[in-house]
Amino acid sequence: MLVRMVYNSVRNMTKARNFAFLIVVALLVFAILSLLSNTSSAASDDVNKEYSIVPENDTMALCFESLQDTRKLLYSSTDNDNDIEPEPIIYFVTPTYPRREQVAEITRLGQTLMHIPYLHWIVADDTSVCNNFLNNLLKKFGIPYTHIASPMPEFYRTKKLVPRGVANRRAALAWIRNNNKKTGVLYFGDDDNTFDLKLFSEIRSTKKVSMFPVGLIGDYAISTPVVKHGKVDGFFDSWPAKRKWPVDMAGFAVNLEYMGLSPNVTMPYKAGYEEDEFLKSIGLKMQDIEPKANNCTEILVWHTQTKNNKPPKIRISNGILRNNQFNLGVLLKKLETMGVSHISQSEGTAAQITKDGKSKSLISWFS
């Protein structure tokens, strides 16, 4: 009898310990799930706090505009046939900003766009004054273009989440509105992205809003609509962030006639939510979306990004810079104009020249 009492007591204690253990495990699981939920919404909460009250004091200056297309040799022989109706114009909007890679990336993008007929390039630069060097570069491509100086309002530069490129795109939208552009297709193309030429023939036929995959985005390395039976049914993007339209800026194009039906088209200064809020402002509905790129099975645009390095400082004397018998002075001055590097007489890396495997300072080499 005594043995049975002891046995029952031990068994009851074991059950109590097991029950307590299960309670502790359940509490730990609940705490972990709550932590993950809070973490996933932290970004959107930060954004809402950061941009709860924001001014919209946009400024822009039209630097230069050319409506002449000098790329006639790239077109087919039918372009001069008056009986053929011209294709819709693509208004390709590129936000850019001064940095050492700017000229290289604009050059690469310009060489791509040179192959695209019926395209107007809107380049909006994050500067308060017009950049003549950039303008001369744009002119070389022979593409009809508009060059705008559209600085980001200072209010946003000090924020934790900086809405980069928004002021530039807003300036482009203002140019389209002010110039009464009601037909054609709008596309936002960054200067460091990579584009397949097929993309342009795909988006030119956009009736309302077309969408397509963008490679090298987020943890999935892709951002794309999910297409079911030829219709967009959802989205595959590693940063949903409670966005109604979780897409990348390079992953959609908009017909201007469709956009014109919405009087309050805008892109807010809300980092991470620019695409979502813009598409909301044009009244987009799921049934309006036209999947491109073979039902979103092809990648025609890549979100490539060039590493942004600080421009180096080169120490070199003024006498050598002014020496017209050599190319270095002209070349280094051009690089400084582009923002690629800086020249100093007292600071930075000393300039040297290498010959026959031996390096010498420029001063001793010129003497």
Record the tokens describing residue 119, joined without a space: 């395209």
Catalytically annotated residue among 105, 274, 275, 290:
275
CA distances, 115 to each of 74, 171, 216, 290, 301 (Å): 7, 26, 24, 25, 16
Residue 336 annotated among the catalytic residues of the structure: no
Q: Is 192 annotated as a binding residue?
A: yes
Contact 257, 182 (CB under 8 A): yes
Record the tokens describing residue 287, joined without a space: 């049934």
* Cα 366 to Cα 314: distance, rounded to the nearest angstrom: 17
Record the tokens describing residue 150, joined without a space: 């559209």
Length of the chain: 367
* Cα 228 to Cα 329: distance, rounded to the nearest angstrom: 60
Catalytic positions are: 275
Binding residues: 192
